[in-house]
Structure 1
Amino acid sequence: MKQGLHPESYRLVVFKDMSNGETFLSRSTAHSKETIKWEDGNEYPVVKLEISSTSHPFFTGKNMLVDTAGRIDKFKKKYAKK
């Protein structure tokens, strides 16, 4: 593998799924100005996600409708005339 290709600044980061409120701790290089107190009592940077493996229908096996930006309504309104 090429040297210097991957970042070396990995640190513990909390990811928060905004569609269902689930949180999980992982290592990442993602930057965040917000922090959150984790279950172990330490504070970690928090990265907010719109969808993760805990809410995505492919991973959960459930057909959930997650529409955070009104995309479905916009699509229906656009093609309702045809």
Structure 2
Amino acid sequence: MKKGIHPKNYRIVVFQDLASQKKIFCKSTVETKNVIKIKNKVYPLYKMEVSSFSHPTYIGKLKYINKAGRIEKFNSRYSSSMKNLNHLLRF
């Protein structure tokens, strides 16, 4: 690795998932404005919208979409509505 290009200000940071309220301790250089006190120690706090604790891929709630069948799925869902609508719109 090249010398002199890596940051030197690594410190323990608490990453908090806002969806699940779980916390992860990790060394990081991320800039934070918030702090959190855990066991009488103060740590920088970084709040995340999504992490492996709340992302559907990691928690097993991912819904797979059949790419080839999107149009057929739409047509099957709304075909009766469209027929009724077309019937009403004929002049």
TM-score, structure 1 as length reference: 0.68
- Deviation of 1:8 after TM superposition, in Å, equals 1.3
Aligned positions of 1:37-52 closer than 5 A: 37-38=37-38, 40-52=39-51
Amino acid at match of 1:16: Q
Paired position in structure 1 for 2:4: 4
Higher helix share: 2
Q: Please give the alpha-carbon distance, in whole angstroms, between the structure 2 residues aligned to 1:56 and 1:18.
A: 11
- Deviation of 1:57 after TM superposition, in Å, equals 1.6
Paired position in structure 2 for 1:79: none
Paired position in structure 2 for 1:24: 24
Q: Please give the alpha-carbon distance, in whole angstroms, between the structure 2 residues aligned to 1:18 and 1:10.
A: 23
- Deviation of 1:25 after TM superposition, in Å, equals 1.0
Paired position in structure 2 for 1:53: 52
Gaps in structure 2 of 5+ consecutive residues: 64-91
Structure 1 stretches of at least 4 aligned residues deviating more than 2 Å after TM superposition: none
Q: Give per-residue Cα distances to partners, 1:29-48, cap 9 Å, x unaligned.
A: 0111210012x321101000
Q: Please give the alpha-carbon distance, in whole angstroms, between the structure 2 residues aligned to 1:22 and 1:60.
A: 14
- Deviation of 1:61 after TM superposition, in Å, equals 1.8
Identity, in percent, stands at: 43
| Structure of greater Rg | 2
Gaps in structure 1 of 5+ consecutive residues: 65-82
Other structure's SS at 2:36 match: strand
